[in-house]
Amino acid sequence: MNDYQVIVVGGGAAGMMAAGQAAKGGAKVLLLEKKEHLGRKIAISGKGRCNLTNEENVSDFISHYPGNGRFLHGILRDFDNVALREFFAGYGVETKVERGGRVFPISDDAEKVVEALKIFLTEKGVEVRSGIAVEEILVKNGQAIGVRAGQKRYLAPTVILCTGGASYPATGSNGDGFRFGRKLGHSVITPRPALVPLKTSEEWVKELQGLALKNVEASLWINGKKTFTEFGEMLFTHFGVSGPIILTISRKAGEAVRAGNQVQLRINFKPALSLEQLDTRVQRDFQKYSNKQFKNALDDLLPQSLIPVMIQLSGINPEGVVHQISREERKRLVSLLQELPVTITDTLPLETAIVTAGGIAVKEINPKTMASKVVAGLYWAGEVVDVDGITGGYNLQAAFSMGYRAGRSASVSALELV
Confidence of residue 171 (pLDDT cuts 50, 70, 90): confident
Q: Which of 332, 347, 362 is the last residue of a domain?
A: 347
What pLDDT is stored for residue 417 in this prediction? 80
Same domain, 32 and 162: yes
Neighbours of 36 (CB within 10 A): 9
Same domain, 116 and 240: no
Q: Which of 306, 323, 347 is the last residue of a domain?
A: 347
Cα 274 from chain centroid (whole Å): 32
Q: What is the arithmetic mean of pLDDT over 384-411? A: 97
Same domain, 232 and 159: no
Same domain, 306 and 236: yes
Residue 24 lies in a domain: yes
Contact yes or no for 213/197 (Cβ under 8 A): no
Phi, psi (rounded to 5 degrees) for 343:
-85, 125
Residue 293 lies in a domain: yes
How many separate domains does the chain show?
2
Q: What is the arithmetic mean of pLDDT over 64-72? A: 96
Same domain, 18 and 145: yes
Q: What is the mean pLDDT of the chain?
A: 96
Confidence of residue 169 (pLDDT cuts 50, 70, 90): confident
Same domain, 25 and 88: yes
- For residues 265 and 159, give the distance between their C-alpha atoms in angstroms, rounded to a whole number: 44
Residue 1 lies in a domain: no
List, for residues 215-273, the tens digit of each pLDDT value: 999 999 999 999 999 999 999 999 999 999 999 999 999 999 999 999 999 999 999 99
Same domain, 179 and 225: no
Confidence of residue 1 (pLDDT cuts 50, 70, 90): low
Same domain, 241 and 337: yes
With 90 as the cut, is the pLDDT of residue 371 above it?
Answer: yes
Neighbours of 29 (CB within 10 A): 31
The domain in which residue 52 lies consists of: 6-194+354-416
Q: Report the amino acid identity of residue 236.
A: F
Residue 199 lies in a domain: no
Confidence of residue 172 (pLDDT cuts 50, 70, 90): confident
Phi-psi region of 47 (alpha: psi -120 to 50; beta: other; left: phi over 0): left
Residue 368 lies in a domain: yes
Same domain, 303 and 388: no
Distances (CA, A) of 199 to 220, 240, 331, 349: 14, 4, 29, 10
Q: Checking DSSP bridges between strand 53-54 and strand 102-105, what pairing results, if any?
A: antiparallel
Residue 201 lies in a domain: no
Same domain, 254 and 189: no
Q: What is the CATH number of the domain that holds 122?
A: 3.50.50.60
β-bridge mates for residue 321, sequence order: 293
Nearest of 411, 371, 403 to residue 143 by alpha carbon: 371
Same domain, 160 and 37: yes
Q: What sign does the dihedral 379-385-389-393 (CA atoms) show?
A: positive
Confidence of residue 418 (pLDDT cuts 50, 70, 90): low
Confidence of residue 170 (pLDDT cuts 50, 70, 90): confident
Q: What is the arithmetic mean of pLDDT over 352-372? A: 97
What pLDDT is stored for residue 168 in this prediction? 81
Q: What is the CATH number of the domain that holds 285?
A: 1.10.8.50
Distances (CA, A) of 226 to 219, 220, 235: 7, 6, 21
Residues of the chain with pLDDT > 70: what percent?
100
Question: Please, which residues have CB within 8 angstroms of residue 406's CB and are 6 or more apart in sequence?
Answer: 14, 18, 21, 160, 162, 369, 370, 379, 380, 381
Phi-psi region of 101 (alpha: psi -120 to 50; beta: other; left: phi over 0): left
With 90 as the cut, is the pLDDT of residue 167 above it?
Answer: no
Residue 373 lies in a domain: yes
3-class secondary structure for the chain?
Answer: CCCCCEEEECCCHHHHHHHHHHHHCCCCEEEEECCCCCCHHHHHHHHHCCCCEECCCHHHHHHHCCECHHHHHHHHHHCCHHHHHHHHHCCCCCEEECHHHEEEECCCCHHHHHHHHHHHHHHHCCEEEECCCCCEEEEECCEEEEEEECCEEEECCEEEECCCCCCCHHHCCCCHHHHHHHHCCCCEEEEEEECCCEEECCCHHHHCCCCEEEEEEEEEEECCEEEEEEEEEEEECCCEEECHHHHHHHHHHHHHHHCCCCEEEEEECCCCCCHHHHHHHHHHHHHHCCCCEHHHCCCCCCCHHHHHHHHHHHCCCCCCEHHHCCHHHHHHHHHHHHCEEEEEEEECCHHHCCEEEEEECHHHEECCCCEECCCECEEECCCCECCECCCCCHHHHHHHHHHHHHHHHHHHHHHHCC
Q: Which of 298, 323, 347 is the last residue of a domain?
A: 347
What pLDDT is stored for residue 350 in this prediction? 93
Residue 280 lies in a domain: yes
Distances (CA, A) of 338 to 147, 200, 216, 256, 350: 56, 19, 9, 23, 31
Question: Please, which residues have CB within 8 angstroms of residue 47's CB and are 6 or more apart in sequence?
Answer: none
Residues of the chain with pLDDT > 90: what percent?
95
Same domain, 17 and 121: yes
* End-to-end CA, the chain: 11
List, for residues 101-159, the tens digit of each pLDDT value: 999 999 999 999 999 999 999 999 999 999 999 999 999 999 999 999 999 999 999 99
Q: Which residue has the higher pLDDT, 169 or 337?
A: 337
